[in-house]
Each structure stands twice: as structure tokens, then as C-alpha cells.
Structure 1
Amino acid sequence: MFGAQSEYLPLKKVIMHAPSQEIRNVTEKNKKEFLFRSPAKYEKMREEHARYVEFLRDEGVEVILTQDTVCPNLLFTRDVASVTKRAALLMRPTHPARCFEPVYLKKVFGSMDIPILEIARGKAEGGDLVYLDENTLMIGFGPRTNLDGVKAVEDLVSEVVKTILAVPLPSFRVHLDGALMILDRDVAIAHPGSLLFPAKFLQEEEPVLIPDFLKEEGFDLIEVTDEEAQNFGPNLLVVKPGVVVSYSWNRRIISELEERSMEVFSLEGHELVKAGGGPHCMTCPVLREK
């Protein structure tokens, strides 16, 4: 079974990549080329990631770990693929450092007998895909995904997704999942400063402002500050309704979640974060189901 067209239905199966020797290739001199904030301490990074994997397995999630690679950014499997009820979509990354990462996940999906569809035009990365619900997909476009990529994704998901909401992002916001996450049927977290521009349902004429739209739809919206967004505050992984993974330092956000009766696994990720991503980025869900 496969299909993960939700951000909050119970997570059953996920692909992750444990940091391996490729992390040692990132230095102070080349960190920007590798899209890292700074070089990471290899052994400590592996320990942090292993604790994340252990937590998910303790929660009953089947974690599939990819084999050692030469791609440091494969740590963020989210960006490489997105699994729908129809097939696994292999993305088309923007940066040279990431352009061959889909090769590795293609092998994984092949071994699982999951059909594969590849983005053939434009640029698209999975971190820009956030499901509002099972039938509504929000796609951010900006630094990593372009409009051609949005259209390419739309073409490939049209059989299983009814509505696409295209969300333009400012130049500083790498992916949509760094700005917005749906935590439950009626709870969301967002950084308003990353959602300044009007978004548009591709099938409709009138644009919408995402924060206002979510509130009008009845969402309890947790708003985060600029500093919290820089520290991957919105980049949360929902394991199942009421159980969320957050970086440990986002204490105010954790308090907001706990006030809403959510259990939070506080991930110590001081080395993981140096690679430039959060808990959501490090997971490529294969199956979510009720």
C-alpha cells in the first residue's frame, strides 16, 4: 500500500536517509554550494538522526533508510519525492548539488513496487508540496519550484487531487513547508511574513491570502515570528493527530502545541539543522491512512 496525501493522517511508512560519510564532504569553504548553513559534526549528526528514527519506530512507523550516497542533501528526502495514491512523484531539484538525488529514491520505490512518475519539465521540490487535505494540494513556488514545475505536478496528480493552490514565496523562503504546516483537520501553523503574496486556486479566478483563507475556513492558526521561522518553527512532522515532532529549541511553539493537547517529541537537532532543514524535511512519507 502507498499514498500520503495528508500532513496529519497517521504515518505508517516513511523513507529517510541516515547521514553518512558524504556529510564529511561539506566544509566551511564549500558549505554554500552544498546548501548547508555550516559544516556538521558527523558522529553527533548521526546520533541525532538515529534518535529521530528510533522515536518514529517506537510510534509504529515503518522507517526505510536509504543506502549510503555521495549526496549530503539527501538527508532531506522530502524534497526528492512525493507519494500520491497514484504513484511516487520524482521531483526535479533546482540546484546542481541535488539534481541527481532522485536516482536513489527511484531505486527505493522500484524495490517497493510503487509506480513512478517523473517531473519532466520545470523545477519542483517536495518541500513545496503541502496538503491542506486529501483532495487539496498547496504548491509553493519561488527559489526551488517554478511555475512550470507547479504545472507539471498538477498534470501528474490530476487523477487523485481535486484542487491545486499555487502559493508564491518570497526569495528568502526556500520551501513552503518552512512557512506553513497543517497539523490537524482544523489546526495549522504559519509564518505570515513568508505568505505575503496572494495565492491562487488554479481552477478559480480570485486570489486569496493564505492566513486569511485558513482562518475563514475555520482553522486555529498558530502564527510564528521571523526568528522562529528561521529556526524551522513551522517545519513540523505530524506522526498522527495529536503527536508532533519539533526541534527542541522552538519552546514557545511547543507550548502552543501542548496547549492544544498535542504531544511533542522535542528533537535535539543542533547538528541536523546545520544542513538547512527541519523535522518535516527529513521525511518522505510513503503511506498515511486513517
Structure 2
Amino acid sequence: MTERPIRVFSEIGKLKKVVLHRPGKELENLVPDFLPRLLFDDIPFLEDAQKEHDAFADALRENGVEVLYLERLVADAIDAADVKEQFVDEWLAETGVQSDAMLKALKDHLLAIPDTFDMVLKTMEGFRKTEMPDVSGTSLSDKYETDYPFIVDPMPNLYFTRDPFATMAHGVTLNHMYSETRNRETLYGKYIFDHHPEYGNGAVDRFYNREEATRIEGGDELVLSKDVLAVGISQRTDARSIEKLANRLFKETGFKRILAFLIGENRKFMHLDTVFTMVDYDKFTIHPEIEGGLKVWDLTPNEDGTVNIVEREDQLDVILQDALGVEKVHLIRCGGGDPVAAAREQWNDGSNTLTIAPGVVVVYDRNTVTNKVLEEYGLKLIKLRGSELVRGRGGPRCMSMPLYREDI
């Protein structure tokens, strides 16, 4: 049997292949007045953000991980299927541009870029009003002017490759995102999984589609084991999406259980993986604030194909011990449990770690209190400089999408 191109049955199995996106000119299209619209709190310095991201990629390679870039996968998919114009038409349809004259000008501009890779980067960067010619159409939308500086918004969140699609078992959820700002990002995943020579044309199972009406994001999807998935009910993921996903996974994969964690609609707890990640067979990083009054629902399949849903009222460690079949689970609290250190370091993604092998974890170096506690638990840390990348409110797990992990 041919090896499947995606294999993800845990959060901690040795990472062999991962998708990243190197931050590009989209970050230079962040402006203070419109940061909330683009889901940013600050403006990273692109040159240093790229240096930090390159160091992240190099650290992964040095530990035996093959690094693939989202932008290259998309370009290769478009070229392989000869669908450049189709891609541009779909991209334009999601820009929100109303003027027919401007749509034509944008299409002509993109199709005139000879290299597909460069064209893909331009679609990610967005278009400023100052870089496009004045189109003198006759409709009201052609003539309407606002102070907004962009014709097409940039996509600055793209370096968080964890969210637009998520891998599990031999497949993906191609997600419907919380905001239109990010929902446009999922078009890139669509082209990869429809057309890429290795990942497209039915090679990868599809458990969710971007056309779904309810939202789900990859930061809320954690593969705890070959049997158990954890999904956050959050600002970004709807409970209805989890039930849809459960129906499909129970019918099409070997997953036997989904734990749905209610973490609330709060930007500081944006996704489950910002407050909770798995770092070893029996160890998790956790932000202590979510432990009080945490609600967890246990989803399992019924014999008739329906989903059984039971609220769990036990302590988090007990729920995890039961789900993973281990004697004891260690919850390693962000900031060592100190409320000030925990709040500061969680804001800088102290709980958002990327495990590349059992007990081997990529972290930001700035979270010194949390990192010291992790080391006291015997974990090996790969420390990244986190000055500019962290301004987007995401850590090493947010910035990576595993395609292949060894089984544990």
C-alpha cells in the first residue's frame, strides 16, 4: 500500500514534515488605525520577524524536520493543474471589491506576474490604493472613495499556519474561519488539497470544508492520541462544528473520543492551544486560569452512528488520565502558577509550545519563568527568540502545521 502523505496521530510523535509560512510584505501593510480589523494588536518589524522565523525553520531542520512552505505548495498546486486564472478568479471573488473596473485591473495585474510563486505572494500581501491605476468606471462603486488605504486587505495572520487547516489521521479539516479577514486564507489550503501533485487529487481525506456554515480553527484542534481528539469551544470555534467533525471522524477514522473544552470567547484565550498543549506522554502546559470551572464534554460514537455527549465534571488531570490511559498526568502551569508571571507569559504564548518529539519542545526564550519550570520537569527546550513574531499573538505551535509525525 502506498504511504499516505499525511500522518498525524498525536501531538508529540517525532515530527518529520511541517508546513510554515515565512512572513512577507503583508506585515508591512499593517497600519495602527486598522489593526483590529486584521486581528493584530501590534506591528512586527518585518526584517527581524523574518530572521526569527528563519531561525525557527533552521531549528526544525537541525532536528530532522523537513520544512515545507505554504506559499510554495500553493504555487506548485496551481502550476501542476494549470489553474492560475481559476485561482485568481476565486481569490478576487473573496476580496470584497465591488467595482467591475477594479476587479478587471486586479486580475490583469496578477495574471501579468510571470512567476506563479510571486503571484501567490502578491495575493497574500494585498493591494494598496496607491499602487493601482485610477480606474474611471461609471458605477457608483467605481466613484466611491473612503479613507481606507487598501483596495484588497493583506493577510498578516498567514504565518500562523496552524489555523486555516488542521491535520489529523490521514486527512485535514479545511476550516471555516471566525473572521472574513482569515477565512480568505483557507483558499490556499483548498488549492493544495485539490491540486497539489502530492497532497491533492484525493490523496488526503477531507473531514471539514471551508464552505461549512459554522466556524472552526486549527488552534482549537489537538490530536491527543490515535483515539482521542481535543477541541476547544472558543472565540474562534463553534460547538456545532465540533459535533459535525465528530460525526465524520467517528465514521471515517479510528478516533473513538473527542473532548470538547469550553474556554470562552476571550482574545487572550483565543484558541485551546494558547492555554493548553501536550509536551510529553503525560505532561501538558496549561494556563492556570482555565482550570477553575472548566467545562468539558465527552463525545463518543453510539452504535447507531449518532454521537453521545456527556458533560464531565472531574478535575482536568483526571479527565486527561482517563482519556490517555496513563496513571498520572502532570499539568505544568504557565508562569509556575504565579498569577502575574502566568498572565504576562501566557500573553506571550508561554503555553503555546510545539512538541517535535516526546519531551522535546520548541518555546519562545522570553518566557523565562515557564521555561524554567518546563526544564525542572525534565523537558528539553529549543528556545527561539520571540521579539517580533510574538506581536501577532501566537507561539511555535501556532506557526506550524505538521504533515507527518512518527507514531508513538
Smaller-chain TM-score bracket? over 0.9
Aligned counterpart, 2:247:
155
- The CA deviation at 1:237 is 0.2
Aligned counterpart, 1:277:
394
Matches within 5 A, 1:99-118: 99-109=183-193, 110-111=195-196, 112-113=198-199, 114-117=203-206, 118=208
Determine if contact 1:214/1:221 at 8 Å carries over to the other structure: no
Aligned counterpart, 1:231:
348
Structure 1 SS opposite 2:374: helix
TM-score by length of 1: 0.94
Task: Write the distance in 1 (CA, Å) between the matches of 2:223 and 2:185.
Answer: 23
Aligned counterpart, 1:33:
37
* Larger RCO (CA under 8 A, 6+ residues apart): 1
Task: Write the distance in 2 (CA, Å) between the matches of 1:259 and 1:142.
Answer: 31
Q: Indicate the structure with greater helix content.
A: 2
Determine if contact 2:318/2:329 at 8 Å carries over to the other structure: no
Aligned counterpart, 1:124:
216
Task: Write the distance in 2 (CA, Å) between the matches of 1:124 and 1:207.
Answer: 22
**CA deviation digits over 1:63-117, x for unaligned, max 9?**
1112222321111110111112232221110111101111112333341234252
Task: Write the distance in 2 (CA, Å) between the matches of 1:86 and 1:39.
Answer: 37
- The CA deviation at 1:206 is 4.0
Task: Write the distance in 2 (CA, Å) between the matches of 1:214 and 1:251.
Answer: 27
TM-score by length of 2: 0.68
Give 5+ residue unaligned stretches, structure 1: none
Task: Write the distance in 2 (CA, Å) between the matches of 1:267 and 1:221.
Answer: 23
Aligned counterpart, 2:310:
205
Match of 1:190 among 286, 307, 315: 286
Task: Write the distance in 2 (CA, Å) between the matches of 1:152 and 1:121.
Answer: 11
Matches within 5 A, 1:1-150: 1-67=5-71, 68=121, 69-70=124-125, 71-109=155-193, 110-111=195-196, 112-113=198-199, 114-117=203-206, 118-119=208-209, 120-150=212-242
**CA deviation digits over 1:121-150, x for unaligned, max 9?**
310000001122221111101200011111
Give 5+ residue unaligned stretches, structure 2: 72-120, 126-154, 301-308, 335-341
- The CA deviation at 1:287 is 0.7
- The CA deviation at 1:207 is 1.5
Determine if contact 1:233/1:247 at 8 Å carries over to the other structure: yes
**Higher deviation after alignment, 253-262 or 73-82:** 253-262
Matches within 5 A, 1:235-246: 235-246=352-363
Bigger radius of gyration: 2
**Percent of residue pairs identical:** 30
Whether 2:224 is the aligned partner of 1:220: answer no
Structure 2 SS opposite 1:48: helix
* Number of residue pairs the alignment of both structures matches: 290
